Every structure is written in structure tokens, then in C-alpha cells.
Structure 1
Amino acid sequence: MHGRHENPESVDLHRVAVDTHGHTHFGMALANLVGFDLAPRLAGMNKRKLYLPRGLNIPATLRPIVSETVSLSAITQGWDPLLRIAASTKSGWCSATYVLDRFGSAARGDEAFQAGDAFGKLLLTRFLGAYLGDPAFRGMNDALLSQGESVHTLQRAIYSGPIGARHGRTPEQMAAISSGLTLLTNVIMTWNATRIGEVRARMPDIFPDHHIKHIAPNAHEHINTKGVITIDVSLHRDRLLGAGPPAAGIRNVI
């Protein structure tokens, strides 16, 4: 991710880098409409096409890699509902995850999906032009994605063993395990980001913005990932267990 800090509690998001599995044409359109760019690093670049509407004067050298499949009428017909979906997402009335699930490939007959898919193809063509034609942009995009991918390295450092069927047999158990791993990962990254911010506040001239943006808060060599976290829950016993007597085996500390 790339953002511009306006104050200690807010970030103006400009760009999110994803791999091939995180990219869809509709997702690219939704990201653009809510105010940032989706920057994918795509597999099989030698087979990628530039999506354009029909009727343009395309140079002969580009015709082999051009696909004239963008429907301008689809964008026109579905533009208003697509804007309403983007506005609901940006204002928080619905999550981006829900919208992307709702408007997946199964929604091909929906006007909003058709508009988002066509608009996303145009955005992908614009992105590929910058990615292939500008080495500086390509390097920045790949660096952002590499920072995001390194989060998986942190997660493997926290828990590197297999998850057996006894501990993760049901979808609910798998969801709990995944949520726990995500929580611990976010705890470490928040701690790192806080320390980076403290150092940056003390020495802003030594660590300017163009240096800080290359530092991801997912380093873990200094973290004891095999340690024990002790949490005092005695103050919250009544809320956790109700007003009745403590259940057998429940301790003040977990």
C-alpha cells in the first residue's frame, strides 16, 4: 500500500498492490471509484491483452495484443448503479469484501457488474501501459507487492507447524485459527509501526517520508514469537461469565 500521512490517525490511501489472485476487472473499477488505484502484478504477462472499445484507430504494431471487447454502452447503462455501489462502499454502508463477493463472475447479467467489468478493463489497459512503459513505476509497484507478500513470512514465523484435523476440523474452527493468527500478526505490525512512528517523530530529518515509505512494519527478527502473552481478565470476569459464580477451571489470568 502507498499512502500520504495527513495526521497521526489518518492515511490518504493512493495505491494497493495485489497479485494475480487479488485482481478482477470489477475490483479494479471499484477501487478507482472509491479513491485509490489497484495495482496488480499479473502472471502470464506475455499473454495479456490491451482492452479497448471498437472503432479506435489502433496502430498495426499493437493490433496483435489488443482486444476490442470493451462495451461503452454497458458502462453507460450501468454507470449510475455502479456509482451507488461505490458510494455505499466508500461511506461504509457495505464492505468491499461483500461487494466483490456479490459482484463476482456469477453476477454477469447485472448492469452494475457489466459496467464495472468494462470500466475495469479500461483501467487495466491504462495500468499495463504505465507498468510496461515506465521502469520506475514498475519497480515501485513490485516493491509494494513484495512488502505485502512479506506478511506471509511473518505469519509463518508466528506459527510454522501444521494445523491438524483435531484442531481445525470445522469451518468455525478454521475461522477462529485464521482470526487468531491474523490478530497476532496485526499486533506485531502495530507495535512495529508505533515504534517507527516514535523514531520518525524524534528524528524527522534523518528519516524523511521517501525513506519511511520503503519500510514495512512486518520485521520479526526482534520479536519472541514463541513467548507467552499473559492477559489479566479478572476485571472483566462478570462480562465474560455473567453474574453467576465462576465456572470451574476459569482462572483470573489466561
Structure 2
Amino acid sequence: MLPFVPIASLLIELDVRTKFLDCFTHAGGRKINLSVETRRNILAVLIAGATNLGLTRMSEACGVSYDTLAWTQEWYVREETLREANTVLVNHHYQLELAKKFGGGTMSSSDGQRFPVRGKSLTGRDMNIHGGKVLSTYTHVSDQWSTYGTKQIIPTTREANYTLDELLGNESDLPIHEHATDTHGATLVNFGLFDLVGKALTPRIRDLGKITMLRVDSPAATNVLYPHAGPLLADRWNEDLIRGTWDDMLRMAGSLKFGEATASLVVGKWSAASRQNTLAAAIKEWGRIRRTIHAARYLSDPVYRRKISRQLNKGESLHALRRDLHYAQQGAMVRPQLQDQTEQSWCLTILTNAVITWTTEYYAMGIKELREQGREVPDELLSFIAPGHRENINFFGFIEVDIEGETAKLDDGWRPLRPTLVNEAGTTFLLNP
């Protein structure tokens, strides 16, 4: 039932409802209303970055000169404006009724996606497992399928160092409290810091039975309280160490929350610190306590396990959408500088969120029409819908960015759904497939 639409038309339609292009202000600080031509050029630059076409090929595809696109990219498209535009899309998606069926916006997950690198690159590294030089894009995805954080990292560094960065820097309306990762994020330092800043780290840990779980009492007393789980609690926590460094731990957490230090720097330093560093040892000890609590709940609560796995699957499923969008030049990054790579990854994030938001809106319209036709669509099934649907969106071919023409096609701000018919058996058919 969803209408077929080119990617440029989708972005134009979303801008009519969200005005996310207003976030692209001139680098000179001039606050002016963007003209139709400037909006067209910004959209062309966004598509060129996300699809990996580059400005030269994009100029041929959309009919705008290369010099015009290069000037627009230089003065309007930078990390600051890209982040702000992405936040507008995430906030708009968060307010949609159907998005609230996907999740409450309180949980997220993070995962890295490898992209091949062509030519020289400051962030690319050779990795045999990926067949050559790659770089990593580390994204944070909410339980509503929206991506609120993106960061370019060196693929050989540990992703756990960057898990907390985007959560503390989250400027969207998403009230993220709980965060899921794979084993890569399950470090003791992360467990401790997440709790100290008021967040909950809930990873899916490989070989969970091999970790050491802590107790707060003697083995005999613990076995009396927990006859089944007592034997698993093999070590006693160091209460004196925590008590002696508690004030310093809180001060460090305050520095992270108020932006005095970056989480990636702190996590990296404390993870590599020696055992003689008292504060680092205390953070890891607090992390052992939080990991024990998480492991106990993970082992005993199947609903808790399914929630974590489901959220991780949401983040990983968006990798396919990003690969489809980032199709040109065999998906290889060709820009050597970190700043250019960061801007390109944010272009890809904006287009990914645009597809998710647009699809969610039209899914809601389709559900409403089915119900009006007498079709039963239970609310409890709506949380299983995946808005990463992309078969009806055209990422290829001649790209015409015609704002006035596309806006005129909208009926009260929306495209008509494709007409359907429900037969006596309750089966829905497209009249014009």
C-alpha cells in the first residue's frame, strides 16, 4: 500500500512537515530564509554524501553544476548543521503515534558497521577478516528505530570506549535510560560508569557462564539466601575500596555528565590503567557489582533476554538499509580526511532516519485505512513492524530535485496510498500493483 517514491521526493516531502533543512545555516552566521534553489542544492549534497555518488556524479544526475554543489557543501553542510537536522528528524519521529508502539524511546543499542576504504585514509586499517582496508561507523539506534548518534572510529580500536559518548551527548527528545550492546561493550569500566551517570548497561555477553559473579557475604550465608544461585557467586566484593574512593567516583561521573571530559577518553584511560591505580580499581570493582546484577537478571528473566536481543536486532537490521543507500563506488569510502568522513556518515544517518520516519508515517496511514475497511489490526502486533522497509523507495537513476513540483503533488501534505480491495475471505489485494 505504500506509494513508490524517489529518495529526493521523500526528502522534499519530509521537509514540508519538519523543516529540517532550516537547520542548515550559512557558516558566516547569516540568519536568512533558505531559497528554493538553496534547499535543492542542500538536498543534492546530502544525497551525494549518503549514496557515495560524490559531487561530480551528483552534478550529472541532478543537473546542478559542480561549482554550485561544492559551494553549498562548503558553506552549509558541516557536522554542526547535520547533527541539528538529524535531531529534528529524530524528534519528529519520536512524536509519531506508531513510533510509540515500537518502543518508548527509553532504550537504545550501539554497533559498528565496517565500510571498505579506497585510497589513503587516516582512519582506515587493514583487517583480514574484512578482506582489506576498512573503517568503522559506530551508530546508536533507539528502540523506535531512529539513529540519534554516529561516530567514525578506527576499526582496530575497541568500540566499548565510545559506547557512552553519544548517550551523554544526546540532544534529542529521546529519554534514553537503558543501553544494549554485544560483548564488545561489556567492559567493567563501562558497567561502572553507566551506573554512576544514571544509565543502565544491558549487554548480551558471550560465554556468560565464564564471568566471575560477586557476593556481599560469606559463602555459607550466601548459599542460605540463594540455594540455587549461591554457588555461582564465587568472589566477595571489596567494600572498603569502594567506600574509600566513592567521592572521587562521583566527581568523575559529574565531570562526564556536564561535559568536562569525554567518556571515550575516560573509558580508554581507566581500562588501560594498572592495578596500582586505586580509582581505576574502584571503578572496575563497581563494574563487577553491576555486571553481577545484570547477569543474575539476564539468567533468570527470559523477557529481559528477549528485550535485549530484540533491540540489538533493530540496530543490526539497519545496516542493510545503510548499505543499500551507500551503493555507489561499491560502497567504499574515498574521502581521506576524518572530517569529510564524519560529514558523509552524518549524511547517511539523515537519509536513514528520513526513510524510517517517512515509512512510519505511511504505515500509520495504511493501518488506518485497513481498519476503516473492516480489517482487524491488533495494537499488540504493531510493535513487530519494521520501518526499515525500502523496496518502494528508489535510490538510483536520474535524480531530479524539484521542490515546487513535488510539493504540488501532495494532497493536504500527503501522498495517496495505493488503492486496495478486501474480498469476502478478508484478503487484501492491490488494485494497481
Scaled to the shorter chain, the TM-score interval is 0.5 to 0.7
Pairs within 5 Å for 1:120-131: 120-131=287-298
Contact map agreement 1:52 1:66 (CA 8 A) in 2: yes
Alignment-derived partner of residue 16 in structure 1: 179
Secondary structure in structure 2 of the residue aligned to 1:40: coil
In the alignment, the residues of structure 2 paired with residue 199 and residue 96 of structure 1 have an alpha-carbon distance, to the nearest angstrom, of: 43
Which of structures 1 and 2 has the bigger CA Rg? 2
In the alignment, the residues of structure 2 paired with residue 149 and residue 189 of structure 1 have an alpha-carbon distance, to the nearest angstrom, of: 14
Distance 1:112 1:169, change over 3 A: same
Secondary structure in structure 2 of the residue aligned to 1:150: helix
Secondary structure in structure 2 of the residue aligned to 1:41: coil
Alignment-derived partner of residue 242 in structure 1: none
Contact map agreement 1:50 1:66 (CA 8 A) in 2: yes
| Match status 1:100 vs 2:267 | yes
Alignment-derived partner of residue 248 in structure 1: none
Distance 1:11 1:74, change over 3 A: same
* Alignment partner of 2:212 out of 49, 56, 64: 49
Q: Counterpart of 1:225 in structure 2: which amino acid?
A: F
How far did residue 99 of structure 1 move? 3.4
Distance 1:172 1:111, change over 3 A: same
How far did residue 105 of structure 1 move? 2.6
* Alignment partner of 1:157 out of 306, 324, 329: 324
* Alignment partner of 1:36 out of 184, 196, 199: 199
Q: What do you get for the CA RMSD once the two structures are aligned? A: 3.9
Alignment-derived partner of residue 303 in structure 2: 136
Secondary structure in structure 2 of the residue aligned to 1:103: helix
In the alignment, the residues of structure 1 paired with residue 181 and residue 401 of structure 2 have an alpha-carbon distance, to the nearest angstrom, of: 36
Contact map agreement 1:2 1:14 (CA 8 A) in 2: no
In the alignment, the residues of structure 1 paired with residue 339 and residue 402 of structure 2 have an alpha-carbon distance, to the nearest angstrom, of: 24
In the alignment, the residues of structure 1 paired with residue 274 and residue 218 of structure 2 have an alpha-carbon distance, to the nearest angstrom, of: 28
Secondary structure in structure 1 of the residue aligned to 2:181: strand
Q: What TM-score, normalized by structure 2, do the two folds share?
A: 0.42
In the alignment, the residues of structure 1 paired with residue 402 and residue 279 of structure 2 have an alpha-carbon distance, to the nearest angstrom, of: 48
Distance 1:107 1:212, change over 3 A: farther
Pairs within 5 Å for 1:85-234: 85-106=252-273, 109-160=276-327, 161-163=330-332, 167-169=334-336, 171=338, 174-192=341-359, 217-226=387-396, 228=399, 230=401
How far did residue 175 of structure 1 move? 4.1
Q: Counterpart of 2:304 in structure 1: which amino acid?
A: F
Tell me the alpha carbon deviations over residues 82-115 of structure 1, each in whole angstroms, 9 at most, x when there is no partner.
2122223334444433433343334655444322
Q: Counterpart of 2:180 in structure 1: which amino acid?
A: A
Q: Counterpart of 2:202 in structure 1: which amino acid?
A: A
Contact map agreement 2:214 2:235 (CA 8 A) in 1: yes
Contact map agreement 1:51 1:68 (CA 8 A) in 2: yes
Contact map agreement 1:75 1:114 (CA 8 A) in 2: no
Distance 1:10 1:173, change over 3 A: closer
* Alignment partner of 1:76 out of 237, 243, 249: 243
In the alignment, the residues of structure 1 paired with residue 400 and residue 257 of structure 2 have an alpha-carbon distance, to the nearest angstrom, of: 36
Identity %: 27
Contact map agreement 1:20 1:40 (CA 8 A) in 2: yes
Tell me the alpha carbon deviations over residues 202-253 of structure 1, each in whole angstroms, 9 at most, x when there is no partner.
x9xx886x76665565443443333748599xxxxxxxxxxxxxxxxxxxxx
Contact map agreement 1:108 1:114 (CA 8 A) in 2: yes
Q: How many residues align?
A: 224
Tell me the alpha carbon deviations over residues 51-100 of structure 1, each in whole angstroms, 9 at most, x when there is no partner.
34574434386576444163222222222122122223334444433433
How far did residue 142 of structure 1 move? 1.2
Question: Which segments of 5 or more consecutive residues in structure 2 lack a partner in the other structure?
Answer: 1-101, 107-171, 372-376, 404-433
In the alignment, the residues of structure 2 paired with residue 162 and residue 142 of structure 1 have an alpha-carbon distance, to the nearest angstrom, of: 28
147-156 or 126-135, larger mean C-alpha shift: 147-156
How far did residue 21 of structure 1 move? 0.8
Tell me the alpha carbon deviations over residues 158-217 of structure 1, each in whole angstroms, 9 at most, x when there is no partner.
1242416xx1445555445444433433443454566678999xx9xx886x76665565
Contact map agreement 1:51 1:122 (CA 8 A) in 2: yes
